[in-house]
């Protein structure tokens, strides 16, 4: 945290603000939904997002490099920065939904699991795309 610049601190503050409401005011879990959405979220993050980024970088001649936490996610010359931050956003919001629903209603929330799955798989997809480029 000492090496974070202003952008890194603002991103962390934003994620903390997103985390709190789902813990304090949880939503009831929907037990009727299946785990297909969790698997689809994982597939979307691991394969579809990296494929779209790769095609986009090829068309617009953008360089793919592993983003840093301190990078501005709204710099469109490097598309991985936005998806890197959004993967943390999905992971943190999904984690807070799962924790809030688990504590408040003693249920599992499939939407929260799907968000966690999409966030983690997008981070993995970015890692696989940039492997060997740093």
Contact in structure between 90 and 116 (CB atoms under 8 Å): yes
Question: In this predicted model, what pLDDT tens digit does every residue of 9-64 receive, in sequence order?
Answer: 999 999 999 999 988 888 877 666 677 888 988 998 898 888 888 888 788 777 78
Question: In this predicted model, what pLDDT tens digit does every residue of 75-129 receive, in sequence order?
Answer: 877 888 999 999 999 999 999 999 999 998 888 888 899 999 999 999 999 988 8
Contact in structure between 27 and 95 (CB atoms under 8 Å): no
Continuous H helices in 25-109: 36-43, 49-60, 80-105
User: Could you give the count of Cα atoms lying within 13 Å of 39 in the half-sphere of its Cβ?
Assistant: 4
Cβ-based burial of 128 (10 A; exposed 0-12, middle 13-18, buried ≥19): exposed
Alpha-carbon torsion 40, 41, 43, 47, what sign?
positive
Kind and range of the H or E run holding 125: helix 110-129
pTM above 0.85, yes or no: yes
């Amino acid at each position: 945290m000492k090496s974070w610049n202003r952008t890194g601190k603002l991103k962390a503050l934003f994620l903390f603000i997103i985390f709190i409401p789902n813990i304090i005011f949880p939503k009831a879990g929907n037990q009727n939904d299946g785990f297909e959405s969790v698997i689809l979220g994982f597939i979307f993050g691991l394969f579809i997002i990296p494929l779209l980024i790769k095609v986009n970088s090829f068309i617009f001649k953008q360089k793919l490099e592993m983003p840093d936490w301190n990078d501005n996610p709204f710099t469109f010359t490097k598309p991985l920065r936005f998806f890197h931050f959004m993967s943390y956003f999905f992971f943190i919001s999904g984690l807070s939904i799962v924790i809030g629903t688990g504590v408040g209603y003693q249920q599992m929330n499939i939407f929260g699991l799907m968000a966690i799955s999409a966030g983690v798989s997008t981070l993995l997809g970015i890692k696989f795309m940039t492997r060997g480029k740093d």
